[in-house]
Structure 1
């Protein structure tokens, strides 16, 4: 069994197509098919069901795939550890982030990291906090930036608090509300544009309105802050954004909330960070010179930004 064979299996599993898998691996399809067939003979079972219309994993292939992925990740980690020992950081760094990161200037951090470690292949994906926690747990993402309600801590990962802040209401410039500061009860009759029900982004607002004894209507549910802002611009309702993030949209009017919902931003990472991930964590730590560390729960280091 060879690592290259495992890479071929993973590529076919992810693309469900031998031709696309061969293109991804930069080999001719016949060579890829031959290597997978050779591996199947060695294992004594087929990993894929092949028809003229589709390719899919067999039950044996489903069982084989997680171990194959672990082997490849272990090999990549071994290479990265060797190069890091010689003073050079290589490998890959998969970063995840909620769309409304405000505690860290992520574009600047990525720029600085690339300048310091040009041999690292960086990827960035945007998603919700719950999804990112699961991706980090499973090893698909190395580090991620989250926004959670104050009472919630990410579980199953290492984490660091980056700071907290209040949410504000945002409305179109000509929206009928004229106050610059209200309490949540004053917004009870307004239609809201918010994140989907059950998401951590939505929970921050829902919990605050519930605590204030206010029932609100949320006719527009979105999965991205930019889409929320687009709907707010059309005067369709009131949006809720972090106070540190809302100024990016200078065409919207901000309404401060006397009993504002709050959130805490976290940086999380896998329990065994790769050299590339460790270098990124060190960069973020260096960018927080005024941070004050204090004891946290097991697997958590907290500080205020």
Structure 2
């Protein structure tokens, strides 16, 4: 039996969501185009209905309580389910409608042109938005329901949601040739500490530079290398490395996205003996039921990144049929690491870590 609810309950939940996200009744009212008194009434009504306190009030901020956090999770899940219901029930002609947002690093987005093109062709009435962000920002966007799907690159599988591994990429040292420092074929941390490095620094919610909270960039920072320049963009990182400003450590996905096969003048060496491989995968919120349009996009991304999900797997050397297999241009899957070129890519041999 369906329990009767107050007709305004969903609006109360909307007001609660925006207060929880902003920490302010006034800011929530601005976002919702309502009066602050209306938002305050919605919060009070919810607390009476649920017989609990959702916020600790102070003069400057509303601090969410533990019960408030639980309700926030259920609120996001509820509205996601409603959006999926509207998209599903409204498909009288079999055409999906609505909107789907996928968050991923810019380098990953360059690998998704084929599945995106197919999705748009098959679902012309779905509005698709790709949100470019660093991997920790991708996780936050999904957790906060600003994105339906995330495709981050992590070194530790996140526990806050559902993570499905698609592929792995090795960490690589990128250094302009003629840098004046002799490196062995298998460099040690001591060797790396003799080099000037360009690092990646994220930005916090206030726009200030901060250490990346996860992933390869965090692991590289922990190695205490000699940083001479920091940026918050991997394309700029590689551009500066190619210009000779310093060395850089990125994964194979970044190399493929921003350098392609143009490695002239660069010394590129694998570093998976020193740093963890980057795990790329699909990330969804816990207790979420993907909308029909999100589920359709998930299926195409899986087929693109995991050939076996769409049929018999092709041989690893079939780069044209499966360009997503991380067999990077100019790489021989049997070539030894010689300090000048990348040998086997992540898909052609098991990662060491």
State the TM-score bracket (shorter-chain normalisation): 0.5 to 0.7
Q: In the alignment, does 2:320 pair up with 1:291?
A: no
Q: State which of 238, 241, 246 in structure 2 corresponds to 1:237.
A: 246
Q: State which of 279, 287, 293 in structure 2 corresponds to 1:276.
A: 293
CA distance in 2, matches of 1:267, 1:54: 36
Structure 2 stretches of 5 or more lacking a match? 1-5, 201-210, 314-323, 327-353
Cα 1:89/1:96, change in 2 over 3 Å: same
Structure 1 stretches of 5 or more lacking a match? 207-214, 296-302
| Aligned twin of 1:54 | 61
What SS class does the counterpart of residue 152 from structure 2 fall into? strand
Conserved in 2, the CA contact under 8 Å of 1:147 and 1:200?
A: yes
What SS class does the counterpart of residue 104 from structure 1 fall into? helix
1:35 positional shift: 3.3
What SS class does the counterpart of residue 87 from structure 1 fall into? coil
1:272 positional shift: 4.2
| Aligned twin of 2:227 | 219
**Aligned-pair Cα RMSD in Å:** 4.6
| Aligned twin of 1:83 | 90
Q: In the alignment, does 2:163 pair up with 1:147?
A: no
Cα 1:121/1:9, change in 2 over 3 Å: farther
Written as runs of structure 1 = structure 2, the 5 A alignment for 1:10-89 is 10-50=17-57, 53-58=60-65, 60-84=67-91, 87-89=94-96
TM-score, length-normalised on structure 1? Answer: 0.66
1:87-107 deviation line (CA, Å, top 9, x unaligned): 23344433222343277145x
CA distance in 1, matches of 2:279, 2:78: 33
Q: State which of 266, 274, 280 in structure 1 corresponds to 2:280.
A: 266
**After the TM superposition, which of the residue ranges 135-144 and 35-44 deviates more from structure 2?**
135-144
1:268 positional shift: 1.0
What SS class does the counterpart of residue 89 from structure 1 fall into? coil
**Corresponding pairs, count:** 282
1:22-55 deviation line (CA, Å, top 9, x unaligned): 2322334444333333333434455345555433
Cα 1:56/1:193, change in 2 over 3 Å: same
